[in-house]
């Protein structure tokens, strides 16, 4: 337990919003894992090659990425998949499902989605999740090792309680915290890039409508729509200031050349 605690303390770093996080995996290893996962997705999923759609998502993603420090060689792929989803992996890999283009009604809403996903990468959230799972599983293993009769009802009840406590008390709340953090950082990213930040509210409303009633927030890795909206509204004044100060106003649409205007 002392060794685990020492590793935990030495492996802490800070997210872009100043929150301390656990990061046990070297960044270069995370990038390799992200690249491998992305390569597997490209082999198993159908890739959309419509040049008009590709120009559109590249226009939006490029406007966002140019304001991101660190990773420079980002790769963006449009997957032919009906689900409304987008994701970003360590090492600068962005995937967009064609179904997302039906929910994100314009360039600003697509920027809200991609800004959120890019925020996960620059906040090192994947490393944090892996590291937390490692510590939680390691902690459970230590507890298990101290119990002799593993067939007893009390042992099984204890392990079940510890497992549920870790899931709902540590992993899920931290995932929701990451989602909220990505909302805030993504809002700033889209505003700084010249996309209208208030469109983020409409985007997440569209997502909530498509998702239906959903599951209770305390059992979800994502905040509820109401919680998410409150977070965005609370951070909107700063985002609007960033938007007004933006030096460009991107013009990205499926039916144009994807140029960016000053």
Q: Point out the residues that are catalytic.
A: 117
In angstroms, the CA 107 to CA 57 distance is 8
Count of C-beta atoms within a 10 Å radius of residue 136: 18
Distances (CA, A) of 56 to 116, 137, 187, 248: 18, 43, 20, 17
φ/ψ of 215, rounded to 5, equals -110, 160
In angstroms, the CA 74 to CA 88 distance is 10
Count of C-beta atoms within a 10 Å radius of residue 229: 17
Which two three-digit tokens encode residue 114?
């991609």
Angle in degrees, CA 130, 113, 84, rounded to 5: 90
Angle in degrees, CA 226, 210, 255, rounded to 5: 110
Contacts of 7 (CB under 8 A, 6+ apart): 24
In angstroms, the CA 124 to CA 29 distance is 12
């Amino acid at each position: 337990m002392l060794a685990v605690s020492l590793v935990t303390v030495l492996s802490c770093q800070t997210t872009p919003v100043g929150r301390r996080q656990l990061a046990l995996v070297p960044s270069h290893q995370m990038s390799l894992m992200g690249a491998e996962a992305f390569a597997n997705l490209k082999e198993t999923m159908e890739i959309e090659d419509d040049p008009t759609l590709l120009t559109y998502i590249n226009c939006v993603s490029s406007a966002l990425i140019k304001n991101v420090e660190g990773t420079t060689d980002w790769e963006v792929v449009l997957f032919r998949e009906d689900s409304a989803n987008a994701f970003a992996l360590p090492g600068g890999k962005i995937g967009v499902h064609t179904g997302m283009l039906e929910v994100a009604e314009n360039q600003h809403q697509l920027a809200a989605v991609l800004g959120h996903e890019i925020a996960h990468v620059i906040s090192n959230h994947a490393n944090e999740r892996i590291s937390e799972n490692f510590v939680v599983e390691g902690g459970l293993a230590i507890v298990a090792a101290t119990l002799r009769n593993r067939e007893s009802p009390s042992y099984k009840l204890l392990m079940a309680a510890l497992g549920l406590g870790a899931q709902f008390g540590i992993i899920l709340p931290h995932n929701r915290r990451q989602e909220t953090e990505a909302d805030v950082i993504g809002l700033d990213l889209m505003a700084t890039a010249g996309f209208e930040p208030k469109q983020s509210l409409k985007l997440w409303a569209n997502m909530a409508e498509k998702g239906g009633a959903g599951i209770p927030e305390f059992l979800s890795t994502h905040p509820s729509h109401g919680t998410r909206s409150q977070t965005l509204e609370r951070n909107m004044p700063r985002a609007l200031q960033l938007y007004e100060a933006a030096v460009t106003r991107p013009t990205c649409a499926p039916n144009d050349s994807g140029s960016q205007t000053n």
